[in-house]
């Protein structure tokens, strides 16, 4: 089940970049969307709730994402397994994938980078921290 496709800019002939967000926590999705709107970058967020749902989306997507924001703790396939799966795909192997998690775990960070994560970011708590999260992400 798709949560939302969030467009921040009015319609134009040039498609806006798309960020695919794989996150199962609806409250965190709402917080991501709210804080993202405050930053107002010229791109869209597309939310899915699981790695399996993301794979189905990527199989036949019309608009290819420019970046994937991937939660580690997901139902079914976890973030590391999804990351490894995508890095074996000739189509998606170079797509920037940022693994984000509430765990501050250096071993997990090492595993994420070894499996091909572009970045590893710890989930922020609170609105000011979320603002800093988007600044960090968008300047990556």
Q: State residue 9's pLDDT score.
A: 44
* Mean pLDDT confidence for 21-28: 93
The Cα–Cα gap between 102 and 65 comes to 24
Distances (CA, A) of 67 to 46, 70, 106, 113: 11, 10, 23, 16
Can you give the pTM of this predicted structure?
Answer: 0.82
- Higher model confidence: residue 113 or residue 40? 113
Q: What pLDDT score does 71 carry?
A: 96
Closest CA to 112 of 128, 102, 125, 100: 100
pLDDT bin (cut points 50, 70, 90) of residue 37 is confident
Q: Which of 57, 60, 59, 99 is nearest to 78 (CA)?
A: 99
Q: Which domains does the chain have, with CATH numbers?
A: 25-138 (3.40.50.2300)
Kindly indicate the confidence band of residue 39, based on its pLDDT and cuts at 50, 70 and 90: low
């Amino acid at each position: 089940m798709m949560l939302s496709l969030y467009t921040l800019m009015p319609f134009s002939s040039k498609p806006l970049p798309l960020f695919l967000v794989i996150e199962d926590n609806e409250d965190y999705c709402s917080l991501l969307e709210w804080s993202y709107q405050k930053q107002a970058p010229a791109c869209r967020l597309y939310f899915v709730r699981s790695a399996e749902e993301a794979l189905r989306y990527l199989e036949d997507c019309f608009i290819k994402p420019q970046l994937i924001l991937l939660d580690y703790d997901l139902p079914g396939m976890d973030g590391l397994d999804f990351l490894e799966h995508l890095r074996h795909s000739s189509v998606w192997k170079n797509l920037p994938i940022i693994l984000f998690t509430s765990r501050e775990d250096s071993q997990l960070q090492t595993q994420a980078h070894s499996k091909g994560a572009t970045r590893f970011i710890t989930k922020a708590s609170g609105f000011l921290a979320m603002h800093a999260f988007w600044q960090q992400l968008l300047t990556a």
